[in-house]
Structure formats: structure tokens, C-alpha cells
A = this chain, B = another copy of it.
Amino acid sequence: MVDPHTGRWQRKKDARPNEILDAALTLFVEKGYNATKMEDIARAAGVTKGTPYLYFENKADIFKEVVRETIVARFNEMQLLLAGFEGCSAELLGLALDRWWQDIGSTRSAGLCKLMMAEATNFPELTQFYYDEVIRPARQLIGDIVRRGIARGEFRDGNVEYAVDTLTAPMLMIMILDHSFALVPGCCETISRDPHAFLKTALDLMLGGLQQPVSVKAPHD
């Protein structure tokens, strides 16, 4: 955004708030909301203690802004997934989760999701916003694929909402664990070793089932 009066220099001025938000994002993800000190944010943004208060009400305000700005951006990227895919629904599901992992799960944003869970009750309006802008659409996205699969006879019929939650759970879990227990020295033996492989395996299991295929019963048919 170029200011008509001052020209390009205006750009730098407007960049200040974003630099602060970016620094805040990194720190929030890395250390959590409480452990992130205002001064850390300021320093990481290359300004001094008082400056963030010129642009934001307080720490809570910064947190809200960070979530709003970042998540929306990330989520818009994920929307691209929906582009008219032609193949079978299982493949489409795999593709969706794959992109999800690539664009969000494996990025700083995953830390933000975890943080959102952690702080949800402390920021009700923000939580509401996050729910409306991210969670509901995301569930819609996956739900559409499931419905597509059912409609095309690829998937078994059933409660779509529950299926969505089930399919989504491993991703959520990994995003949360990777930013909680997995960061503590003695607790790393969990999933985190190869998240991508885990997600693939989890999807296979959810698609094909843990039990031996009932095809052994086929002779009786």
C-alpha cells in the first residue's frame, strides 16, 4: 500500500505492525502465550519495549491479531485444494490431507492451531472467529469429500460428521503433540519421528480398516 503523499516510504511505516505480528507469531508458537514476553516480541521485531503499544492495545490484542492474520492466510491457501479433482475419492482425501500437512501441519501455523486450543477459553470472541473462519470450513471441506465418496459408492454410508472427525483427528493430534510433548526432551519417543509416514499409514488404516478384510467370508455368499 503506497501512501499517495509520501510514496514508497509509507510502505515501511505500515510494515511495522506486521513485523511485530510476525515476531509475535514466531514466539507464541515457540514458547506459548504466557511465556512470550512483550519485550521479547519487541526485540524480535527490532523495536523497543514501548513500540508495540503504539499499534496494539495489549498482549491479548496482539495474540488475537496474530491468529486472525495468519490463519486466514493459511486457510485461503488450503482452499485451493478444492479445485475440480477428477479421480477417486480416496485419492482426493489423501491429496487433501497431504496438502493440509504441507501447508499447515508442518509449518508454524500448526503451532498456532495448538495454541488456539490451549488458549481458546481465554479468548472467547477469538475462538468464535477461529471456529467460524477455520474449523467449520475445514470440516466442510473434508465432509464434502466424504459425501462425494459415498455418492459415488466408493465409501460406506454412515454419519459424515463422525467420519470427518475421525479422519481429522490424527492430523490434529500430530499438530498438537508436535508442539507440546514432542518439544520436551524426555518425551520425544512418540509419533514425531516421521509425521508424514504416520499420516499416510493412518489414512490407509482408516480407509481399509484395522481388521482383516471380511472377504474370507466371501465363500459363504
Contacts and interface: CB of A to CB of B under 8 A. Distances in A.
Interface of A: 31-32, 34-35, 90, 114, 116-122, 124, 127-128, 131-132, 135, 146, 149, 153-156, 158-159, 161-163, 165-170, 172-174, 176-177, 179-181, 183-187, 190-191, 197-198, 201-202, 205-219, 221
Given A121-B31, A214-B213, A135 B187 contact: yes
Contacts of A217: 216
A210 B149 CA distance: 10
B117 A117 contact: yes
24 contacts: A35-B121, A90-B210, A90-B211, A117-B180, A118-B180, A120-B187, A127-B181, A128-B184, A128-B186, A128-B187, A131-B184, A135-B187, A153-B212, A154-B212, A158-B205, A163-B201, A165-B173, A165-B202, A167-B210, A169-B169, A176-B176, A208-B209, A209-B209, A214-B216
What are the 9 A-B residue pairs with the smallest beta carbon separation, nearest first?
A209-B209, A118-B118, A215-B215, A169-B169, A120-B180, A131-B187, A166-B202, A162-B201, A208-B209
A166 B205 contact: yes
A122 B34 contact: yes
User: Max chain B CB contacts within 10 Å: which of A31, A172, A221?
Assistant: A172
Nearest to A93: B210
Contacts of A181: 117, 120, 127, 131, 135
Contact of A165 (B114, B170, B212): B170
Number of copies: 4
Contacts of A124: 184-185
A169 B167 CA distance: 9
Nearest to A139: B190
Nearest to A165: B191
A174 B168 CA distance: 11
A217 to B, nearest CB: 8
